[in-house]
Structures are given as structure tokens and as C-alpha cells.
């Protein structure tokens, strides 16, 4: 089972690096790729957690990495989606249409 988890971590990390390297100047790809990379760190921390021998030295930082990596990808992916919406229209028009449900 650990080999499947390690392969999953490696594929997620590689895919995040691949998305970022496609075009690092594109904000949407950068945010989406960083979200995948941070999510892979959470998977890696979950894989290493049962093998931490000293609870205070290793398990505490791993649990903090797991906590951060459970929320930060959601923020990054939301930023990628919002940059898509704001990129196609005027920012004021996008706010009025999307959030206040007024016709364009």
C-alpha cells in the first residue's frame, strides 16, 4: 500500500511541476500548479506520518504540513478560477454580473 501512496505523491508532484512549467507567466496555470504541488506535500506528509519515531520532533511538523496543505490548495485553485472570470470581462462588469445577478 505504501508503494501506491508514494507513486501517487510522485505523480501529483510531477503534474504540479508540469503545469507550472507550461507557462509560469500565466497566473491561472501558476496558481493551479502550485495548488497541486501543495496538495502533493499533504499526501507526502500523510505517507510519512505513521513512520515518525519521535512524536514531538517529526510528527508535529508533519501534522502542520498536513493541515496547511488541506486548505492552501483550495485557496490557490479559487484564485485560478477567479482569474479566469476576471480576465474575460471588465472587473466591475464581472462583479456586477456574477455576484449581484444583474444582466450584462
Q: Is pLDDT of 104 > 70?
A: no
Rounded mean pLDDT of the chain? 83
Q: Is pLDDT of 51 > 90?
A: no
* pLDDT tens track for 54-98: 767 788 888 888 999 989 999 999 988 888 776 555 555 555 555
CB 75 within 8 A of CB 86: no
pLDDT at 42: 94
Other beta carbons within 10 Å of 86: 15
Q: Length of the chain, please?
A: 104
Amino acid at each position: 500500500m505504501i508503494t501506491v501512496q508514494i507513486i501517487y505523491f510522485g505523480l501529483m508532484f510531477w503534474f504540479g511541476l508540469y503545469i507550472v512549467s507550461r507557462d509560469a507567466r500565466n497566473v491561472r496555470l501558476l496558481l493551479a500548479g502550485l495548488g497541486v504541488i501543495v496538495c502533493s506535500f499533504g499526501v507526502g506528509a500523510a505517507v510519512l506520518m505513521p513512520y515518525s519515531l519521535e512524536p514531538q520532533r517529526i510528527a508535529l511538523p508533519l501534522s502542520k504540513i498536513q493541515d496547511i496543505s488541506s486548505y492552501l490548495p483550495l485557496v490557490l485553485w479559487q484564485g485560478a478560477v477567479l482569474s479566469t472570470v476576471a480576465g474575460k470581462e471588465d472587473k466591475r462588469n464581472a462583479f456586477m454580473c456574477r455576484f449581484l445577478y444583474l444582466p450584462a
